[in-house]
Amino acid sequence: MEVIIKKDYDDVCSESALIIEEAWKRKKNLVLGFPTGKTPLGLYEKLIGLYNQGGIDFASVMAFNLDEYVGLEESHPQSFAYYMDRHLFRHVNIKRENVFRLNGRPGDIEDHCRSYERKIQEVGGIDVQILGIGENGHIAFNEPGSSLSSRTRLKILTPETVEANKLFFQNEKEVPRFCLTMGIGTILEAKMVLLLAAGKDKAESVARAIEGPVTASVPASALQFHARAIFVIDEAAASGLTNRDYYRWAYENKGRALDLLKIVPLKIRD
């Protein structure tokens, strides 16, 4: 794992955008996995900025949404489909046919999840899976206890999530109890995983994910198995890490290490 510690949230987003831009320069038909939530909003703004400046062209980029509530139409303002459209897709030249979403109202849920997994395989897999992390260590909607080899599937939301979501719905009956989410096994198959975290509320889950034991109780700890997992975190989110001075040192010396290896930084291997 690579741990990149940046001063603040804005720097976390800039660094992450740079990593994605570098990946795109090497593979124009980059396949990206996108999360929702508060954390990636700044990154999406930076990606839109890069697009407007000609840094990234999304014409051949493919996108997979990480998760979705069950029961909501794509047009519902609380659906993840709507979120991605509002915060990124409608601002760049990504082609509609290159955006793949979990459908919150599928006919046959199991069949839909299987075909989503198949679609990921058909396009050659996800090159960069972007992630946030929950305060309880979840990634996507894989809450603590999720199998570390899980695939895309139906999950039951925690009572806390359902309660918190009530704010966003006019009608309580509309508040989703279920979701569809890529599994931890699905995420681990991405060629690169880029996890962003900012703020002291994330310090404990970040420390458990990076330095704790690998356990289903902390789903993000499964990323310790990933050969190309990058955590880009701010000082506050890094505050619980025992080895943070080493991570800083390693990052400062990365250029020299890459020179020794004579490899191009951030290369996505097919």
Q: Is there binding between residue 144 and ligand PGA (CB under 6 A)?
A: no
Neighbours of 45 (CB within 10 A): 16
Instruction: Confirm whether 138 is a catalytic residue.
Output: yes
Instruction: Classify residue 212 by burial, with Cβ atoms within 10 Å: 0-12, 13-18, 19+.
Output: middle
State phi, psi for 181 to the nearest 5 degrees. -145, 145
The pair of structure tokens assigned to 95 is 């082609």
Q: Is there binding between residue 219 and ligand PGA (CB under 6 A)?
A: no
Q: Which is nearer to ligand PGA, 146 or 266 (CB)?
A: 146
Nearest residue to 29 (alpha-carbon basis) of 124, 152, 159, 112: 124
Distance CA 35, CA 68 (A): 10
Piece in contact with ligand PGA (CB under 6 A), picked from 36-44, 142-150, 177-185, 240-248:
36-44
Among 3, 5, 23, 133, binds ligand PGA (CB under 6 A): 133
Neighbours of 131 (CB within 10 A): 26
Q: Is there binding between residue 42 and ligand PGA (CB under 6 A)?
A: no
Q: Kindly state the smallest distance separating residue 35's Cβ from ligand PGA, in Å.
A: 6
Set 2, 10, 45, 136: catalytic member:
136
Instruction: Confirm whether 67 is a catalytic residue.
Output: yes
Instruction: Classify residue 27 by burial, with Cβ atoms within 10 Å: 0-12, 13-18, 19+.
Output: middle
Neighbours of 264 (CB within 10 A): 9
Q: Which is nearer to ligand PGA, 94 or 198 (CB)?
A: 198
The pair of structure tokens assigned to 206 is 């970040």
Q: Is there binding between residue 39 and ligand PGA (CB under 6 A)?
A: yes
Distance CA 25, CA 55 (A): 9
Q: Is there binding between residue 38 and ligand PGA (CB under 6 A)?
A: yes
> How many binding residues for ligand PGA (CB under 6 A)?
6
Among 33, 42, 104, 132, binds ligand PGA (CB under 6 A): 132
The pair of structure tokens assigned to 200 is 């002291």
Q: Kindly state the smallest distance separating residue 141's Cβ from ligand PGA, in Å.
A: 8
Q: Which is nearer to ligand PGA, 134 or 183 (CB)?
A: 134
Instruction: Confirm whether 136 is a catalytic residue.
Output: yes
Piece in contact with ligand PGA (CB under 6 A), picked from 126-134, 166-174, 229-237, 261-269:
126-134
Distance CA 55, CA 44 (A): 14
Distance CA 203, CA 220 (A): 13
Among 134, 137, 183, 219, binds ligand PGA (CB under 6 A): 134
Q: Is there binding between residue 137 and ligand PGA (CB under 6 A)?
A: no
Catalytic residues: 67, 136, 138, 143
Instruction: Give contact residues for ligand PGA (rule: CB under 6 A).
Output: 37-39, 132-134
